[in-house]
Amino acid sequence: MKLGFLLFLIPFLALIALTSFVIFKVGVVFGILRTPLARHIVGWIFTLLPVVLMVTMVIGNKYYSIINSFLYDIAVTWLPILIYLFLGAVLLSLINLVAVWTGHPINMFPLSVVVIVISFGATLFGIINATMPRIVSYDINSPTLSPMWSGKNIVLVSDTHLGVVRSSHFMQKVVNKINGQNPDLVLIAGDIIDGPVFNYAKGLAPLANIKSTFGVVYTPGNHEAYNREPEKFYPIVKLLTTTLVDSKTELNGTNIIGLDYKPESFEATVARLGNVGFDKNVPTIALLHDPKNTDALLAAGVSLVVSGHTHCGQFFPINLLVKRIYKKHTYGVFEQDKNGGGVSVTTCGVGTAMSPLRLGTNPEIVVLHIK
Predicted pLDDT at 147: 87
Give CA–CA dist 62/50, Å, rounded: 19
Segments of the chain scoring below 50 in pLDDT: none
Position 263 scores a pLDDT of 92
End of a domain among 129, 144, 179? 129
Instruction: State how far Cα 195 lies from the chain centre.
Output: 13
Residues 24, 120: one domain? Answer: yes
SS3 34: coil
Domain's final residue, options 101, 129, 157? 129
**Contact assessment for residue 189 and residue 221, using Cβ atoms and an 8 Å cutoff:** yes
**Pairwise CA distance, residues 226 & 61, whole Å:** 8
Residues 181 and 244 in one domain: yes
Q: 164 and 97: one domain?
A: no
| Residue 171 and residue 72 share a domain | no
| Same domain? 97 vs 240 | no
pLDDT tens profile 261-305: 999 999 999 999 999 999 999 999 999 999 999 999 999 999 999
pLDDT in tens, 118-175: 999 999 999 999 999 999 999 998 788 888 999 999 999 999 999 989 999 999 999 9
- Do 98 and 185 fall into the same domain? no
Same domain, 264 and 158: yes
- Kindly state whether residues 51 and 175 are assigned to the same domain: no
Domain boundary among 129, 157, 172: 129
pLDDT at 344: 94
Terminal-residue alpha carbon distance, the chain: 51
Range of the domain at 240: 134-370
- Name the amino acid, one letter, at 41: I
Q: Are residues 254 and 117 in the same domain?
A: no
DSSP symbols for 278-304: --TTS-EEEEESSGGGHHHHHHHT-SE
Give the global pTM: 0.92
Tell which residue, 13, 16, 23, has the closest CA to residue 90: 23
**What is the domain count for the chain?**
2
Q: Please give the Cα distance from 352 to 340 (Å, whole number).
A: 35
Nearest to 28 by CA among 100, 98, 20: 20
> In Å, what is the CA distance from 331 to each residue of 110, 229, 348?
39, 31, 6
Predicted confidence at residue 10, as pLDDT, reads 80
At 11 the pLDDT is: 84
In the chain, the amino acid numbered 12 is F
The CATH number of the domain holding residue 351 is 3.60.21.10
The reply to whether 209 and 98 lie within a common domain is no
Note whether 65 and 32 are same-domain residues.
yes
Domain shared by 278 and 341, yes or no = yes
